[in-house]
Structure 1
Amino acid sequence: MRLIIEARLEGGETSETEATTVAVVERKDRSVADLGLTLAEGRALLAEVQSLLVSEQTAGWMESQLACDRCGSTLAHKDARSIVVRTVFGKVDVPSPRLWACSCAAKQGRPRRSVSPLCKAVHQRVTPELEYLQAKWAAHLPYRQATELLREVLPLDKGISFGSTRRR
């Protein structure tokens, strides 16, 4: 038996939606010993869906940041980098282009600098849900145990440390 899980994102400029294969689960026989998803399969599925969703959300948001707030002209592209955003369902590498500030800022006496809108918007690089879970579990357990339990249940792998749990 084979289960294929696909995702379709809608709501962009195009009306066509392309299916992306998120996971394929295979079972050799139909025994009840392999009922449902394993914890590893569930974590991998959640991590893949989260990666797909975060990437699309940030790409859509970045499109709205490509124009100057003051004059509306398009900002020049300086270079492209990526940042790591830690979520409840794993780490996600997100493209974070750096843009040159608009020349209208130089006319006002400010030096022309590069800006990274995504780095400013996600300056902690951790989602609020992950911060909440770390703080909640650390309030009831020692920091190391709270971190180990979060790693065991969620697809975090080495995405968090007990030091970050302690700080939150």
Structure 2
Amino acid sequence: MALTSAKLPQWAIDLETPPTRSKLAGAPDPPGFSSSKRSSSKQPIRKPPTTEETDTLKLKKAWELAIAPAKSIPMNAIMMYMSGNSLQIFSIMMVFMLFKNPFQALLQTRQVFTRFEGEGTSGKLIMVKATYVVCNLLVLALGLWKVNGMGLLPTTRSDWLAWEVPRQALEQTIFVGR
């Protein structure tokens, strides 16, 4: 037994039939809205990008990725300055992360840029990879600055006294008393 439209509730009828739009005189459609299928077919079809355009886009994205570690240097420097030079769990964890992240990034340099490699970009990616490595080394240098400020780097002679050989005397004075 089929239900007729008389037995269906109003909300079901509204779902079945799209609403009719009363077009006001002189009111244009909003941007991106087309009232008929004909007007949407008049839009020009986008042509696919050429290989040169694709290579250029890949290089731009690769440069953005290569410079990303340098963009974090000011924030990390402020955080290192604000954490102080005392040995606390907070400053130690921050220094650990400051060393861990660039070190991992340096080890994964090849994997990071594999998605950008192609015939047209293979020679140009060498400079991008070098910039990526230099930016990560700058972050590591910031970590070394912080560790030196905390007094953890052995930079003075007294830090190496355990390995210093005692001096041998060339002459000896013997006091003979009466």
If the length of structure 1 is used for normalisation, what is the TM-score?
0.29
- Please tell me whether Structure 1 or Structure 2 has the larger radius of gyration of its CA atoms: 2
Structure ranking higher in strand proportion? 1
If the length of structure 2 is used for normalisation, what is the TM-score?
0.27
